[in-house]
Chain A
Amino acid sequence: MSERALGIQYSTPAQEREAVTLGMWAFLATEVLFFGALIAAYLNYRIWFGSDFIAAARMTKVVLGTANTAVLLTSSACMAMAVTTFDAGSKRAPVLWLIATALLGLAFVVIKGTEWFLEYREHLVPALNFDVARYGGVAEIFFVFYFCATGLHALHLLIGICLVSWVAIRIGRGSLVPGGSTTRLIGLYWHFVDIVWIFLFPLIYLAGRNG
């Protein structure tokens, strides 16, 4: 951001960088409460419904889910490498790492889409073709949570992929130089989307497997 003029409210670029960093963390706090509300609702239902709710979780695809978690964790590592190499003054390396991040993000979305397709085939999609007679009402509630949570997460991920690609292009063109905060801030967003998944994964995929 050092190539743009400083706003009249800031006296030094360092002050603006600190302000923007605080702003991003405040925004991430709102996202914690946003996804957290859904998770809180999920946990309360898990306590209240008990075994019926947990039984529904067994119908999720744990292999694909685990693979997806590995993909997203690796993408976070790539993002961290992008920031590190960018700080070190390199130009080509961060662009490559950012492309890797975005590609892994896309891989996640593809795997997720596959899961959703499989769930559609198994009549597990509420409002579309959920087989209430076979699975029960509590399972349908579980799958509403499942699709809401993974859908909202995927939406945030798609936004992240766009942002990461945009940063990669700007670094490649030279319009983003080290010393600013844009790359780091987009990195914070990406890591946060990863953290959301870190918590969604055990709650959605790993429940009820200990039978």
Chain B
Amino acid sequence: MHAPVRQSYLNASVGIRSWLLTTDHKRIALLYFAGITFFFFVGGIAASLIRLELITPQGNLGSPDFYNRLFTMHGIIMVWFFLIPSIPTTMGNFILPMMIGARDLAFPRLNLLSWYLYIIGGLITLTALLLGGVDTGWTFYEPYSTFYATGYVILTVFGIFVSGFSSILTGLNFIVTVHKLRAPGMTWYRLPVFVWSTYATSVILVLATPVLAMTLLMLLAERVLHVGIFSPQLGGDPLLFQHMFWFYSHPAVYIMILPSMGVISEIVPVFSSKSLFGYYFVVWCSIAIAVIGFLVWGHHMFVAGQSLYASLAFSFLSYLVAVPSAIKVFNWVATMHEGWIRFNAPMLYAFGFIGLFTIGGLTGLMLAALAVDVHVTDTYFVVAHFHYIMVGGAVMGFFAGLHYWWPKISGRLYPDYWARFAAILAFFGFNLTFFPQFILGYLGMPRRYQSYPPEFQIWHVLSSAGASILAVGYALPLFYFAWSILKGPRAPSNPWGATGLEWSTASPPPPENFAESPTVIRPPYQYDRGKPCMQAADV
């Protein structure tokens, strides 16, 4: 005998129009889920082809020009259409309003517009890439991208330009929401860290993305008008483009990592049954990362020709920005100390994040040293560094959050042992893929090269083998998540024993999130002898 299906946001209204014209933040989150999953696959296919190509020292999967277009596509898709939107637009959209006790974001229709801008921008760039793409690298350095590159630069850049407005509007929406829509009793210092992290991310989205918009506009002006404002023909300075580009693109990497850090800060206390250690430190470190992250962009230009004085300043500031990140790692570990650890899948992903992010972060410090950077810049050392942060960090955090909030979002439980297996597989696959790349880079293997000297081959073979394992680790969740929707047991409102407001409503939630607006009576992550003390009153 089946229990009657309760009304949730999933079945409250039916039909394609109720989804494509929805203003419900939870439905919009799912719309975004579809988009970023699709783009993750496209970027992943590009990555697979790259790793396939690099198994042998000579090029054999196409011309060097094709290889250039491949890694450019991989970078553009993964950065702008997967990583930057990933956690904020899916989990931020879905969970943040619930975490603060709100019924929706401050501007729901703007939220829907954000999704359309993202999709339209994504489709424009995808079209350009499928038509033949560009070979400039995701960084579009001038004057190559404006005067010499063949390919669909204008179309590609225009798609990114459009999707940038999606980022800006999303960030704006989150900022106003956190300021104005908190439930009674939800003071700033009772907010879960995920909210603080998303807020910090939103500040970056709002302040950095417009600079990208202007930079891309100037790039388009140069390409369309053939007037070299950043090119030497008229006396222009290619470095000015790099300054403008990296003023956005460095904070962009903090857009990618801060939400993941927020997710880890949610998961570690729950699966340690212990309060987050150093809440105030973690919270203000998120803000510090967002602010200091705007001051370090020149470390991408140490060998480009900027003044030594500027390089010194940027090197020092880059050391500074690592401090708040390290403080967070210490706080997570201190949370686990003398806790009662449960090794469910979300926690395994969190472990993976902490270890891999630490390695990535430390190698970042190595790169911040001017002397070291001169040696390893534009080698696989840099490639390994940022993949440790972006894949070992951000993507692991994304999967952690996915596994953590899946019961809330879908109302179903997934088989935990398969999920743990996928997490461990991904961890091993990841390390096998990217650790050899540190060695490769140190030995001198340049990045963005299709062919290489034979003495590097063993490391590339190891890396590609790791990539195949990593791919399986990423593909597995598709299967057991699909199974959970079709056949999985129904989830209770609080399957993990967490304390946040989102866990005091049904799984999946009703359209208005809460039957009655909750009142908050205590800070987050409070545990009494291992039992969660819910933030909401009367739960």
Contacts and interface: CB of A to CB of B under 8 A. Distances in A.
Interface of A: 7-11, 15, 18-19, 22-23, 26-27, 29-31, 33-38, 40-41, 44-45, 48-49, 52, 126-127, 130, 132, 137-138, 140-141, 144-145, 148
21 contacts: A9-B106, A9-B108, A10-B181, A15-B180, A26-B175, A31-B210, A34-B210, A36-B211, A37-B214, A38-B218, A44-B240, A45-B240, A48-B237, A132-B234, A137-B233, A137-B236, A138-B235, A140-B227, A141-B227, A144-B225, A148-B218
Interface of B (DSSP majority class): helix
A9 B178 CA distance: 12
Residue of A19, A26, A27 with most partner-chain B CB within 10 A: A26
Interface stretch (B83-91, B97-105, B297-305, B429-437): B97-105
Given A49-B235, A126-B225, A127-B226, A38 B214 contact: yes
Interface in B236-274: 236-237, 240, 243-244, 247
Contacts of B226: 127
Residue of B97, B106, B215, B517 with most partner-chain A CB within 10 A: B106
A26 B104 contact: no
A107 to B, nearest CB: 27
B207 interface: yes
A8 B235 contact: no
Contacts of A26: 172, 175-176, 206
A23 B224 CA distance: 34
Contacts of B236: 137, 141
Interface string B203-218: 0001111110111011
B206 A148 contact: no
A41 B218 contact: yes
B103 A9 contact: yes
Interface in B183-210: 206-210
Contacts of A144: 221, 225, 227, 229
A29 B351 CA distance: 38
A29 B206 contact: yes
Given A8-B512, A33-B210, A141-B234, 9 more contacts: A19-B176, A19-B179, A26-B175, A33-B207, A41-B240, A137-B234, A137-B236, A138-B235, A148-B217
B211 A37 contact: yes
A41 B172 contact: no
Contact of B176 (A22, A31, A35): A22
Nearest to B165: A30
A126 B213 CA distance: 21
A148 B210 CA distance: 15
B456 interface: no
A34 B213 CA distance: 7
Given A23-B172, A26-B176, A30-B172, A145 B105 contact: no
